Copies of this chain bind each other. A is one copy, B any other.
């Protein structure tokens, strides 16, 4: 265990640095529209999950419920998210992306990939292969 930990520490530092930098670059590639990162992230989670309550969405996004209330409010104002009452529990609300919300999501999704895809273009096939393997591992790490 100790030996493995010794191997993991410098890797953690390098990896975190790379992730931080890349994350900034990708986040800065904001398209013409005016959705903020938080709004887009919430919309994405809703889109992927299909439908969620505010509490569930707050948990997924790792923010407190009042924060999610604000963000969802903005998305509602733009007509990107709609709320329907919960069928059995009068306290809860069901949030889902509207058709327009799905369209906007798709636009942003492509714009966000643009910069990164271009950068990856310039790598060798072998390097891309390495990154593909690494991406799988990283996703498992992020979930676990």
Contact = CB atoms under 8 A, between A and B. Distances in A.
Interface residues of A, number: 53
Interface string A123-140: 101011011111111110
A8 B138 CA distance: 18
A21 to B, nearest CB: 4
B9 A113 contact: yes
Main secondary structure of the interface of A (DSSP, over half): helix
A135 B26 contact: no
A119 interface: yes
Interface of A: 1, 4-5, 7-9, 11-26, 28, 41, 62, 109, 112-113, 116-123, 125, 127-128, 130-139, 141-144
